[in-house]
Structure 1
């Protein structure tokens, strides 16, 4: 019930609500901004505006994870953010010296926040990280919009 009322709040606020829902979803809090995106698209809002709102909000949410990582130590992240060591280790192996361009993969479920946190811990270039993260999140939302449009055409 709580999730439905939060989702309804975001939908009521249109583009700004989508931006906020995407920001929340990109941060360490679990939320699905894709549901808000699809509802707003069905309500007739401009797909380009929706894409921009979702991508920018989700990128800024992901960058909050980066900045948290930049401020902290690995032990703090596990203790305070409840990200287990196994997830952090998996993300660390995945990054394996590739650096800031791996921010592209911050859109991935479950591991995306850990990727952003570890990039912050590694002190990767914040501008390259933000740019690669933005591209990854843009591709994800384009895929959501494309999948929705394809499904609608089937019916």
Structure 2
């Protein structure tokens, strides 16, 4: 079975929105606050953030291999996390809720381990589905 890159990209947007919804629902149910420091909110948020990054990689490059997409997503997440060792993310996060959600505020080594926890299951699922569904060439109409 083959799907077009356009359809695949749309599916990645839907998946990213669902992952964001799950992350926000966890925060709403557990603490009732968008900004919460509880373990459940933090760790699930990190894993779901990484999952959204993975869907973003697939959105940009629909035909990329699962392992390469996973490597790029983990690398991006780690780059963002280690950038928190500078003052730039904290500076931006103090001025913008969106920056705080995307860049974080302070470095936490535990976060580094939670990013692969959000990406590896998607790599496995992608690898499995890739053997059954091919992202084909764009149709020429």
Same fold (TM over 0.5): no
Bigger RCO of structures 1 and 2 (CA < 8 A, at least 6 apart) = 2
| TM-score normalised by length of structure 1 | 0.37
